[in-house]
Amino acid sequence: MSLSTLRARLKALAVLNYDLFRHPDMAPPAPATLYTRIAVDAATVLDRVPPVAEPDQRVVLPSESELYRLYDEYNWLYFGGKLPAARIEYSTRMTSAGSFSKGEKLIRIGRRYHELFPEEVADTLKHEMLHFLHPTHGAAFKKDAARIGATVRAKAHPSLCRPPRYVYACPGCGKLYPRQKRLRMASCGECSRSGFDRRFKLRLVRPGVFKDANGPA
């Protein structure tokens, strides 16, 4: 055996002895164990799993057919079935909870308002149904509203309201009625006993004169 061959074998043996007997703290990171392999495979599987979709947060309001069903139910329950057939529709333009047109026999439900307060749809419907019997929010309206559990005042959310184009005032009590549209024949709901009362017909005042207008009638 040549000297060079002997030196090569001794060098290889020294490296082998270092690997076998060196202190564990000096060892490089060990190859993947069963547990690390499981963790790596699990992470790979999770990367392939599609993310869970967030639940849909959009408010689902009753359909118009459901509103008709509620109308018929309330008509028999609270009015003995005496109210006439009505048209009911959602409005995306109005900012108040609801409106009623007796001439058209039309009830409009404010979609934008009820997307904020979906639990008030039934209350709004009952309120507008009362207007078949009571055009204004007078004493008779309030009595019937208490009987069927409906609110007395039409509601509007401040975040949906636009500055009024017209402001009307009652000549009796001075209450202000801000409106987006012009009123033709309307009297004060506080002063009128039943229906339209010419003594308390609302008078147009210039918008901007009053710093604080009352809420919707």
Cα 136 from Cα 170, distance rounded (Å)? 14
Cα 203 from Cα 201, distance rounded (Å)? 6
pLDDT of residue 16: 53
Cα 162 from Cα 187, distance rounded (Å)? 23
Q: Which secondary structure element, helix H or strand E, spans residue 107, and what is its range?
A: strand 106-110
Q: Which has more confidence, 212 or 74?
A: 74
Buried residues in 105-132 as b, exposed as e (16+ CB within 10 A):
eebbbbbbbbeeeeebbebbbbbbbbbb
**Of 35-39, 50-54, 57-61, 85-89, minimum mean pLDDT range:** 50-54
Cα 116 from Cα 26, distance rounded (Å)? 66
Over 80: is that where the pLDDT of 161 sits? no
Cα 112 from Cα 125, distance rounded (Å)? 15
**Residue that terminates a domain, selected from 107, 141, 158:** 158
Segment of 6-20, 23-37, 122-136 carrying the highest mean pLDDT: 122-136
At 131, give phi and psi (nearest 5°).
-70, -15
* Residue 92 near residue 113 (C-beta atoms within 8 A): no
Quick one: DSSP state of residue 200?
Answer: G
Q: Which has more confidence, 52 or 70?
A: 70
pTM: 0.52
Residue 75 is assigned to a structural domain of this protein: yes
137 shares a domain with 85:
yes
117 shares a domain with 92:
yes
pLDDT of residue 164: 76
172 shares a domain with 149:
no
Residue 22 is assigned to a structural domain of this protein: no
Over 70: is that where the pLDDT of 216 sits? no
177 shares a domain with 211:
yes
At 69, give phi and psi (nearest 5°).
-65, -40
Q: What angle do CA 178, 184, 190 make, to 5 degrees?
A: 55
What tens digit of pLDDT does each residue of 57-107 get?
567 899 999 999 999 999 999 999 999 999 999 998 888 889 999 889 999
148 shares a domain with 211:
no
195 φ/ψ sector (left φ>0, alpha ψ -120 to 50, else beta): left
- Domain range for 169: 162-217
Residue 33 is assigned to a structural domain of this protein: no
Segment of 4-8, 86-90, 198-202 carrying the highest mean pLDDT: 86-90
Q: Which has more confidence, 50 or 136?
A: 136
* CA neighbor of 114 nearest in space, from 72, 55, 156: 156
pLDDT of residue 27: 52
Cα 75 from Cα 77, distance rounded (Å)? 6
Q: What is the mean pLDDT of the chain?
A: 78
Q: What share of the chain is helix, strand, coil (3-state, %, to 5)?
A: 40, 15, 45
What tens digit of pLDDT does each residue of 126-139 get?
999 999 999 888 89
Percent of the chain with pLDDT over 70: 66
